[in-house]
């Protein structure tokens, strides 16, 4: 279990490919804002594709 306190600023450039197997449980307290410069597409099988840049992640 990973606990993060304070501010988390994330900037992602280029390609991001993540294959996640198993359980993912995240407890987020406070405000979570995500700005995406681009498009977000979700297919019927639950796959979400984000095209563009993730500008700011501030939980």
Domain membership of residue 24 as a residue range: 1-59
Extract the tokens encoding 16.
């991001």
- pLDDT by residue for the chain (59 residues), tens only, comes to 666 666 666 665 566 666 555 665 566 566 656 666 777 777 888 787 777 776 666 65
> Residue 4 contacts by C-beta under 8 Å, 6 or more apart in sequence?
59
**What's the confidence (pLDDT) of residue 23?**
64
Domain total of the chain:
1
């Amino acid at each position: 279990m990973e606990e993060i306190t304070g501010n988390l600023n994330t900037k992602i450039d280029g390609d991001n490919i993540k294959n996640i197997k198993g359980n993912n449980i995240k407890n987020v307290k406070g405000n979570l804002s995500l700005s995406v410069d681009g498009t977000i597409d979700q297919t019927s099988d639950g796959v979400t594709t984000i095209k563009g840049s993730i500008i700011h992640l501030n939980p």
